[in-house]
Structure 1
Amino acid sequence: MKRRDFVGLTGLATGALFLPSFPSLGGTLVHPERLLETVDPAVKKRLADSALNAAKSAGASYADVRIGRYLNQSIFTREKQVQNIASGESFGAGVRVIANGTWGFAATNTVTEAGLAKAAQMAVAIAKANAKVQKEQVKLAPQKGYGEVSWKTPIVQSAFEVPIAQKVDLLLSANGKALENGASFVNSALFQVNEQKYFASTDGSYIDQDVHRIWPTFSVTAVDRASGKFRTREALSSPMGLGYEYMVPKAQDKIAGPAGSGLTGYKNSYDILEDAALAAKQAKEKLTAKSVTPGKYDLVLDPNHLGLTIHESVGHATELDRVLGYEANYAGTSFATLDWKKQNKPYGSKLVNIVADKTQPGSLGAVGYDDEGVKTKQWDIIKEGQLVDYQKIRDQAAMVGQNESDGCCYAQSWQDVQFQRMANISLLPGKQKMSVDDMIKNVDKGIYIAGRGSFSIDQQRYNSQFGGTVFYAIEKGKIAGMIEDVAYQTNTTEFWNSCAAICDESDYRMFGSFFDGKGQPSQVSAVSHGSSTTRFNGVNVINTARKI
């Protein structure tokens, strides 16, 4: 079948041909035109009131309801072929209550007044049953009601409005650029998400939100047929809280990498054709790159790489439920306990200022209100190297002597209960003007790392090892060629205390994760991490190809 015929006939997904490296987003398969439909907020308010009234009548002291329509479209290609196109929809409602001082939750896909009232009654029954074994009553931080309000991701064009053929053409063109420049294999994908969420509570809030996210990505592989050796280079894109405008490159959004690397960074738009062509060249170059000599190096870390380190060593380490041990059975604990914080030990050097921010434009985690109706904000996590706060929601604030939620509660769908999730956690840029080349001038022996690679970190978010996508040796203040087999080993406080320089805001960019997992049953969330290029002195580097 010709590609255009395939695209034209693909109203529903054609078989389970998902690439194993890309997770599916779930939902019931629907015709793409269904993704453009909306639900009248007045209808959602009437439905929500039926749940709230039923909950109160059944004995709830507090109740909230989330009516959610979760849409996704995923496009997968390989070389000159379309592998799969899937459009999904999930629609239903979840009701959460407090009765007898205890939480209860129930969900339904029968989105009628009777259906939501029945779910509310079930949630109250569950709460009352739970109360028999609950040791302490739930203490909610106070929250005013906002009345009827709305918020929408400030996009230019919804990715769902763009014809599938146009999006497929762009992915296949990127594949073509990679093949033209020496790639042996290439696959690419485009993920698009729209969360239409309506929240109502007995506090008096009726909040309608329309949230959009997009993620283009690819993987390019070059093979040396003679030796059988191969190397891969992943896309340097970042998932973003934007519309299809992210796929239309703009000159002002490009940031040149260090002289001699050929790399380009991207802010609020992304040139997938340029990145795919460079990826093929770099994958071939990796085949003959010199293997790194282990030792101590000054590391210059690109934002697309550093974002993952921030995510693992700061983002997860400062989630209050993890700190208090509530995630110990599945996702681990944290070294940054309340007792550790009281000791005033430095988390990092004086240059390290890290904020949590659910309002950051273009970020994956940006919303107007979280999933328990709290208006979002920015707050300090680490200030001048000192840990000053955690990430917490309404029923956690009192546990640390506070009376306000941080607005970082989230559920991946209407059928999942909302709980504390990571906000956008970002390293603030340096205050002094400094480019990447300026930073490298001061490095005698170092390595520049761009993109993400394999990593590991212990359950306390302390001892860790991080790889990357591409590596360049730095010798006497200049890029001295590509190297391979690089990973750095460190612990969280040692690493952040070695922070010696941060580029200014002109270099600031975001990395993101579409599928950050947590909880039992497990849920995913999307979160971004911003930073400028940053230098860390004297970090231990190992050679991942050497046998121990």
Structure 2
Amino acid sequence: MKRRDFIQLAGLGAGAMMMPAIPSFSNPVEIERILDPIMDVTQKKQLADIALNTAKSLGATYADVRIGRYLNQFVTTREKKVQNILNTESFGVGVRVIANGTWGFGASNQVTPEGIKKATQSAIAIAKANSKFQKEPVKLAPNPSYGEVSWKTPIKKNGFEVSIKDKVDLLLNANSKAMEKGASFVNSIMFLVNEQKYFANTEGSYIDQDIHRTWPNFSVTMVDRQSGQFKNRSAFSAPVGMGYEYLDGRPEDKIQGPGGIILYNNSYDIVEDATMAAEQAKQMIAAKSVEPGKYDLVLEPSHMWLTIHESVGHPTELDRVLGYEANYAGTSFLTLDKWESKNFQFGNKVVNFVADKTQPGSLGAVGYDDEGVKCKSWDLIKDGVLVNYQAIRDQVSILKQKESHGCCYSQSWSDVQFQRMANVSLQPGKTQLTPEQMISGVDKGIYIVKDGSFSIDQQRYNFQFGGVLFFEIKNGKIAGMLKDVAYQANTQEFWNSCVAICDERDYRLNGAFNDGKGQPSQSNAVSHGSATTRFNGINVINTGRTI
């Protein structure tokens, strides 16, 4: 890589720390290149058939090939300046095979007949070498042939077609409004993703997908120079599986939340949010420090997603349950014996979790996963009881199930696909209940908005979560802002303390681009939905006090 390109890739600035890593073999590219298609479906099919035919001729009993073009755009600003504008492209092919009952994988950034043949030969050689150590042959769940099909994220505006000037102007306007309200520092960023993925396998599927994701974000910092205190308030935006229409900020998508805050659903107003963030950051500095003790917690969806991700999403991944995935963030306390008992009370009876790879607007929404399985939704926790896990084609036989759940994913063409978290969401309550009505029934509690710091053990059992905004609840009313709040529990205790969930009118998605897993690690984009939820008698600590 040229030094200039290295500096450009490395210089995304502090705001980019919130973003996932740039995919392997990415190179800076002009925006005109991003907007031009470089290969049509017919060409991809011809190249895919070279891989499949080569694999079969060399003894593979199964093979799949993924031709992927991964496009990213980063626009980063700080206060009145543009820090960086970067477009990247990664284009290549990955080939996965089963030979001698064993997986093998090869990849190349040479998307040519010769490059694909070499990648396939490498995959076969790896499989045969590894077969000497394979104790049992890979067993794939059956999957139908879908023939030639396609799927696209249903976007209204392609963010890559929106001018850089418009994006810069929007971010700088948000920064300016925050600075006018007294913000000491502001970082903002626009992150766009387009995954153009073509999948084919020896079972007769040829699947072309065009996936878009968008995330506007910022961090406002307020410094009280007299006391030396400072507070950060991050954006209330959600990373979404949508186009640039998410930035429209439609009035009907704004929600007046408890405590006078404005929340967003389906579309987002970054300028309004940045203005509000600066005002709230001042209030956060002046807020009363929490008194440790037991509280009833009312947790808003922009906070709940991370608690769901860590305490429900990860422990229901089957490879963690089996101990196959242990080095990166541990295994799971939800061992097979708990599932086999059919009565393990994961949570209160009002708690229902669904995994879903089809949810509109979510980060994980696709038509087919990265091993050609049509995506669907399925129950994980039903009426508080553990009923299923997240598993893919070579895992579901362990559960004595006959079809994959469709949650296989790879972050790029150069990485092998494996089981990744689907969108895991808490289902809304079945009776009508608003956040205000929920709060009216709480005598001593805390209302928490937006995710913050967290810590959880290697079996996803004992945890601690912070947040961004904390409001004291006294006798059914918001009584002012708090700070230095974190709550502690274990997963089973916590979800059994869940006593009420607001109805579907309050249901919203949030999530992350950077769900890490694997060795070497990969990033997955995943959303988690919920409505505002109440938990009784949770231990709250003061994070600002030292012992």
TM-score bucket of the superposed structures, by smaller chain: over 0.9
**How far apart, in 2, do the equivalents of 1:227 and 1:478 lie?**
30
Q: Which residue of 2 aligns with 1:22?
A: 18
Structure 1 residues 14 and 118 mapped into 2: Cα distance closer, same or farther (>3 Å)?
A: closer
Q: Which moved more, 1:146-155 or 1:265-274?
A: 265-274
- Which string of whole-angstrom CA distances, capped at 9 and with x for unpartnered residues, describes residues 409-461 of structure 1? 00000000000000000001111111110100000000000001100000000
Structure 1 residues 11 and 136 mapped into 2: Cα distance closer, same or farther (>3 Å)?
A: closer
- Correspondence for 1:280 among 278, 281, 286: 278
Q: Which residue of 2 aligns with 1:339?
A: 337
**How far apart, in 1, do the equivalents of 2:384 and 2:333 lie?**
16
2:301 matches 1:303: yes
**How far apart, in 1, do the equivalents of 2:522 and 2:328 lie?**
12
Q: Which residue of 2 aligns with 1:166?
A: 166
Preserved contact between residue 222 and residue 230 of structure 2 (Cα < 8 Å): yes
2:238 matches 1:244: no
Specify the SS of the correspondent of 1:467.
strand
**How far apart, in 1, do the equivalents of 2:538 and 2:361 lie?**
32
The letter for the 1-side match of 2:315 is A
**How far apart, in 2, do the equivalents of 1:425 and 1:460 lie?**
18
2:250 matches 1:220: no
Q: Which residue of 2 aligns with 1:327?
A: 325
Preserved contact between residue 470 and residue 482 of structure 2 (Cα < 8 Å): yes
The letter for the 1-side match of 2:443 is D
Q: CA deviation at 1:158?
A: 0.8
**How far apart, in 2, do the equivalents of 1:17 and 1:150 lie?**
36
Q: Which residue of 2 aligns with 1:37?
A: 36
Q: CA deviation at 1:288?
A: 0.9
Q: Which moved more, 1:15-24 or 1:330-339?
A: 15-24
Preserved contact between residue 335 and residue 461 of structure 1 (Cα < 8 Å): yes
Q: Which moved more, 1:501-510 or 1:113-122?
A: 113-122
Q: Which moved more, 1:304-313 or 1:36-45?
A: 36-45
Aligned sequence identity (%): 67
- Which string of whole-angstrom CA distances, capped at 9 and with x for unpartnered residues, describes residues 153-174 of structure 1? 0000111010011001101111
Q: CA deviation at 1:519?
A: 0.1
**How far apart, in 2, do the equivalents of 1:263 and 1:377 lie?**
35
Q: CA deviation at 1:400?
A: 1.2
2:58 matches 1:61: no
Specify the SS of the correspondent of 2:467.
coil
- Which string of whole-angstrom CA distances, capped at 9 and with x for unpartnered residues, describes residues 64-87 of structure 1? 000000000011100000001110
TM-score normalised by the chain length of structure 2: 0.97
- Which string of whole-angstrom CA distances, capped at 9 and with x for unpartnered residues, describes residues 376-403 of structure 1? 0000000000010000000001111111
**How far apart, in 2, do the equivalents of 1:279 and 1:433 lie?**
30
Q: Which residue of 2 aligns with 1:526?
A: 525
2:310 matches 1:312: yes
Specify the SS of the correspondent of 1:168.
helix
Q: Which residue of 1 aligns with 2:541?
A: 542
Preserved contact between residue 187 and residue 220 of structure 2 (Cα < 8 Å): yes
**How far apart, in 1, do the equivalents of 2:8 and 2:22 lie?**
16
Q: CA deviation at 1:281?
A: 0.4
**How far apart, in 2, do the equivalents of 1:92 and 1:15 lie?**
20
Q: Which residue of 1 aligns with 2:514?
A: 515
Specify the SS of the correspondent of 1:469.
strand
The letter for the 1-side match of 2:170 is L
Structure 1 residues 424 and 32 mapped into 2: Cα distance closer, same or farther (>3 Å)?
A: same
Matches for 1:97-176 after TM superposition, within 5 Å: 97-176=97-176
Preserved contact between residue 46 and residue 113 of structure 1 (Cα < 8 Å): no
2:425 matches 1:426: yes
**How far apart, in 2, do the equivalents of 1:526 and 1:48 lie?**
26
Q: Which residue of 1 aligns with 2:489?
A: 490
5+ unaligned residues in a row in structure 1: which ranges? 1-9
**How far apart, in 2, do the equivalents of 1:377 and 1:479 lie?**
40
2:260 matches 1:265: no
**How far apart, in 2, do the equivalents of 1:541 and 1:14 lie?**
44
The letter for the 2-side match of 1:153 is T
Q: Which residue of 1 aligns with 2:401?
A: 402
**How far apart, in 1, do the equivalents of 2:105 and 2:288 lie?**
56
Matches for 1:64-75 after TM superposition, within 5 Å: 64-75=64-75
Q: Which residue of 1 aligns with 2:353?
A: 354
- Which string of whole-angstrom CA distances, capped at 9 and with x for unpartnered residues, describes residues 357-387 of structure 1? 0000000000000000000000000000001
The letter for the 1-side match of 2:335 is T
**How far apart, in 2, do the equivalents of 1:15 and 1:352 lie?**
44
**How far apart, in 2, do the equivalents of 1:103 and 1:12 lie?**
35
Q: Which moved more, 1:20-29 or 1:270-279?
A: 20-29
Matches for 1:445-456 after TM superposition, within 5 Å: 445-456=444-455
The letter for the 1-side match of 2:150 is S
**How far apart, in 2, do the equivalents of 1:175 and 1:124 lie?**
53
Specify the SS of the correspondent of 1:488.
strand
Preserved contact between residue 444 and residue 475 of structure 2 (Cα < 8 Å): yes
Q: CA deviation at 1:246?
A: 0.3
**How far apart, in 2, do the equivalents of 1:34 and 1:97 lie?**
32
Preserved contact between residue 13 and residue 86 of structure 1 (Cα < 8 Å): no
Preserved contact between residue 338 and residue 344 of structure 2 (Cα < 8 Å): yes
Aligned-residue RMSD, C-alpha: 1.3
Q: CA deviation at 1:330?
A: 2.6
Matches for 1:375-390 after TM superposition, within 5 Å: 375-390=374-389
The size of the alignment, in residue pairs, is: 537
Preserved contact between residue 50 and residue 114 of structure 1 (Cα < 8 Å): no
Q: Which moved more, 1:480-489 or 1:34-43?
A: 34-43
Structure 1 residues 12 and 241 mapped into 2: Cα distance closer, same or farther (>3 Å)?
A: farther
Specify the SS of the correspondent of 1:49.
helix
Q: CA deviation at 1:119?
A: 1.1
**How far apart, in 2, do the equivalents of 1:102 and 1:247 lie?**
47
Q: CA deviation at 1:11?
A: 12
5+ unaligned residues in a row in structure 2: which ranges? none
The letter for the 1-side match of 2:22 is L
**How far apart, in 2, do the equivalents of 1:328 and 1:414 lie?**
24
2:439 matches 1:440: yes
TM-score normalised by the chain length of structure 1: 0.96
Preserved contact between residue 9 and residue 28 of structure 2 (Cα < 8 Å): no
